[in-house]
């Protein structure tokens, strides 16, 4: 029975989801308390802070891939799987670059944001094709990670907390609180960040799964 036709085992996401939620809360507390900006930046988009859940994606992606492969549901042909994952990651920055440089789209406007949203959905579909077993797990993990962020962003925007959860990117017009939440919270969290989690997680998961598949199974 091939890896593609073998029944896919379940991979628990509860522990990764709990850890991710704990990091989200730590990040929120750190920003509210004014801790080190390098660790807890309040800049729009997060400012590349060292404390953040995006850094967990490669770790848990690799862990999911390892667990699946050791359970007998490996990625199959590694080359094509990696190719799909790389394409899924590349499509958004490449498409955004083309829109900005070739067509003169404002990089801070709603047009390029809309392009990113559409490309992230396309990239997500491609990422799910790379290794369907891990794609399914990562999609569930992505929702478990991002839905709490959406709810925190709602509270932060309504309360005007001054964190990266409620700060809009420069150039965006003033908006009513719920409109702002939908624009900078709901839409990107459920599209761009879901794409990022599944695509990047799949890349690391495929690599880990390929290694795990080559190791002899324990008794």
- Could you tell me the residue ranges of all domains in the chain? 54-214
Which tokens in the block code for residue 166?
A: 């409620």
Instruction: Select the more confidently predicted residue: 170 or 159.
Output: 159
CB atoms within 10 A of CB 147: 14
Comparing C-alpha atoms, which of 14, 57, 64 is closest to residue 206?
A: 64
User: What local confidence, expressed as pLDDT, does residue 165 receive?
Assistant: 96
CB atoms within 10 A of CB 79: 11
Predicted TM-score of the model (pTM)? 0.90
CB 29 within 8 A of CB 38: no
Range 141-155 average pLDDT: 98
User: What local confidence, expressed as pLDDT, does residue 73 receive?
Assistant: 87
CA distances from 86 to 8, 80, 82, 111, 155 (A): 23, 10, 6, 25, 36
pLDDT, tens digit, 9 for 90 and up, residues 172-214: 788 999 999 999 999 999 999 999 999 999 999 999 999 998 8
- The fraction of the chain above a pLDDT of 70, given in percent, is 90
CA distances from 9 to 82, 96, 136 (A): 21, 37, 11
Contacts 24+ apart (CB under 8 A), 17-23: 17/141, 17/144, 17/145, 19/56, 20/53, 20/56, 20/60, 20/141, 20/144, 20/145, 21/145, 21/148, 23/51, 23/52, 23/53, 23/56
User: What local confidence, expressed as pLDDT, does residue 215 receive?
Assistant: 67
CB 192 within 8 A of CB 117: yes
Least confident of 21-35, 95-109, 166-180: 95-109
pLDDT, tens digit, 9 for 90 and up, residues 97-116: 887 777 776 666 678 888 89
Comparing C-alpha atoms, which of 82, 69, 80, 81 is closest to residue 213?
A: 69
């Amino acid at each position: 029975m091939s890896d593609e036709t073998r029944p896919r085992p379940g991979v628990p996401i509860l522990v990764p989801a709990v850890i991710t939620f704990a990091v989200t809360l730590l990040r929120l507390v750190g920003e509210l308390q004014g801790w080190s900006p390098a660790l807890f930046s309040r800049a729009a988009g997060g400012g590349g802070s060292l404390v953040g859940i995006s850094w967990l994606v490669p770790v848990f992606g690799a862990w999911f891939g390892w667990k699946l492969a050791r359970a007998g549901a490996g990625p199959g042909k590694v080359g094509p799987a990696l190719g799909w994952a790389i394409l899924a990651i590349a499509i958004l920055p490449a498409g955004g670059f083309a829109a900005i440089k070739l067509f003169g789209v404002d990089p801070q406007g709603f047009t390029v944001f809309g392009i990113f949203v559409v490309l992230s959905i396309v990239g997500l579909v491609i990422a799910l094709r790379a290794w369907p077993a891990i794609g399914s797990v990562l999609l569930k993990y992505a929702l478990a990670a991002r839905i709490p962020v959406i709810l925190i962003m709602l509270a932060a925007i309504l309360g005007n907390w001054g964190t990266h959860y409620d700060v809009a990117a420069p150039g965006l017009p003033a908006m009513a609180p719920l409109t702002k939440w939908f624009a900078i919270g709901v839409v990107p969290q459920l599209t761009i960040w879901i794409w990022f989690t599944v695509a990047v997680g799949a890349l690391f998961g495929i690599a880990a799964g390929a290694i795990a598949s080559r190791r002899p199974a324990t008794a």
